[in-house]
Structure 1
Amino acid sequence: MTTVSVVIPTVGRSSLSGAVDSALQQSFSVCEVIVVADTADELGLAANARIKVLRCGPGAGAQRARQIGIRDAVGDVIALLDDDDLWHPYKIEAQMLLLEASGPSTTIVSCACVVRRPDGHEKILPRVAIEPRQDIAEYLYTYSLHRSGLGNGVVQTSTLLFPAQLALDVPLDERADAVHDESTWLLAVRSKYPRTRIEQLNDPFVIYRVTPNSLSNNGKNDVSRYLDWGQEHLHDASPRVRGDYYLTSPVAAAASAGSTLGIRQAIRVGSNRGSPGIWAVLYAVAKLLTVSVRAVRQR
């Protein structure tokens, strides 16, 4: 029988116990839950024979913690879960059925997720699922109008399930300051194994909790790292994909930090290196106006 190891990187958030419990309570029983602590603090987890705690860091970063867990895993399949997210009890069962039907050695399985914000607002993403052989950069970074609204594709970390050997052959980017964790790895896998399928269930089997202290929501002006990422990973993408990327992802990072300078820089780079679509242009202009008005009001 195929076995599944769950890998959870953590910085010791109070939400960790809930994430671990949601993994242990799966209808398809996982063989182990590997918690990789990127902290020296005690985790306060209840004793359980299926829980294994490893340590790295502090300050090693989530991707290095995940890769340490993957290397130590005994399961045939890896399922990633962040310490502030939750799984529906049938998440692994549904994904394993799809994995085994699609060809387990060449398939990565994802699903939709419920994005839950601190104010209680929720939405389901992605708006449109990725096709199994669709170009990954095109799916993730083309900013378009869909029936359910504006946006691009989403493959969220806690939705991912894949053969363990895949992440040993193509390791995660372990740099602590890396951005776009999921995208970087998916692009690297597809580059090495072009026939890799990405199957995405429409069911929202994951609750992705956006927390004020989330590392992806830290308020730092990281725009230069996002611009560098685009230059490194999207140089072969279409002009539309490059343009849309620069006018959305780096712009969002700059807007989160309240940097009109960063937004202008991203718009300039996107216009020079790509050919952004109208919806990406409108997104960037709206962010620039919003941040500019906020800055005026705060004077």
Structure 2
Amino acid sequence: MDSLVSIITPNYNSEKFIAQTLQSIRAQTYKNWELIIVDDCSTDKSLDIIEEYSKIDKRIKFLKLSENSGAAVARNKAIKEANGNFIAFLDSDDLWLPKKLEKQLAFMVHNNYNLTYTSYNIISENDVAPKKTVFCKPELNYKQMLYSNKIGCLTAMYNSANLGKIYMPEIRKRQDYALWLKILKKEKMAYGFQEVLAFYRVRSNSISNNKMEMLKWNWILYKKVEKLSYFESLFYVTSNILNKIF
């Protein structure tokens, strides 16, 4: 099993976390990877940190956008540059456990799965200790995913050799959710590897932590991207709210 895995990482002002993220990638037991980081016009010192790491590890490729465009544009630029048979995602403040790539890739290759994800722990902005564990569903199809996004972006991997490169809709938020839905229109199922292999960091200033913003972007996803009817969109936005509550 020597397939190249392309890791997609958008960066925006993550100087506090990016070194730890990069270290978690470099600590992977599976070594045949390339990391493509695309910076979205950061104004902090994260650029210097990434450049230093790219000098000491040639597997790290560092690209920059000319204007602030959002994570979807950054991720799509990285996907375009990717050379791997598999494409994985990790944001610039999240972490992987050392055997993440090794175990998930073996799971995909052995079963011939094209889209997979894993369980993960949630950590706070300043605390590495797990606050909550999100156990993944064993299987997910398109219809199930419409009710709520059950795939953590930091855990997802798809087989680009089999599916081709699939890009995210260039919306400011929920673009990862939209990508899984797009893939599941081609694939009958996505499959979950039950073991915890990643850490998702909740940041106080993130859009995903703003409930009203998320309502807006869920609506845009269902109505404009998935092109569901007004009532279908309202139904699934409501189901997302209920899933968050219960």
Structure 1 pair 86/167, CA: closer, same or farther in 2 (3 Å)?
farther
| Distance in 2 of aligned mates of 1:112 and 1:282 | 17
SS of the counterpart of 1:70?
Answer: helix
Normalising by structure 1, we get a TM-score of 0.68
* 1:247 equivalenced with 2:238 (yes/no): yes
Give, in whole Å, the separation in 2 of the partners of 1:40 and 1:282: 31
Partner of 1:22 in structure 2? 24
Whether contact under 8 Å (1:70, 1:167) holds in the other structure is: no
Percent of aligned positions that are identical:
21
3-state SS in 1 of match to 2:8:
strand
- Alignment partner of 1:135 is 2:141: yes
Amino acid at match of 1:247: T
Cα distance in 2, alignment partners of residues 282 and 56 from structure 1:
34
| Structure showing greater relative contact order (alpha-carbon pairs closer than 8 Å, 6 or more residues apart) | 2
Q: Equivalents in 1 of 2:38, 2:77: separation in Å?
A: 8
Structure 1 residue 235, shift from structure 2 partner = 2.9
Which residue of the partner structure matches residue 201 of structure 2? 209
Paired residue type of 1:115: I
1:75-114 equivalent positions in 2, closer than 5 A: 75-103=84-112, 107-114=114-121
| 3-state secondary structure, aligned to 2:223 | helix
Query: Would you tell me which structure has more strand in proportion to its own residues?
Result: 2
Deviations 1:239-297 (A, max 9, x none): 7x963x32254x5xxxxxxxxxxxxxxxxxxxxxxxxxxxx39949xxxxxxxxxxxxx
Larger Rg belongs to:
1
Decide whether the 8 Å contact of 2:87 with 2:157 is kept in 1: yes
Unaligned runs of 5+ in 2: none
- Which residue in the other structure is 1:183 paired with? 177
- What is residue 115 of structure 1 aligned with on the other side? 122
CA contact (8 A) 1:137 1:234 kept: no
Give the structure-2-normalised TM-score: 0.81
Change (3 A) 1:166 1:122: farther
Aligned residue pairs total 234
Counterpart residue identity of residue 29, structure 1? K
CA distance in 1, matches of 2:202, 2:183: 27
2:11 equivalent in structure 1: 10
- Cα shift at 1:234: 7.3
Shift of the 203–54 alpha-carbon distance from structure 1 to 2, 3 Å rule, reads same
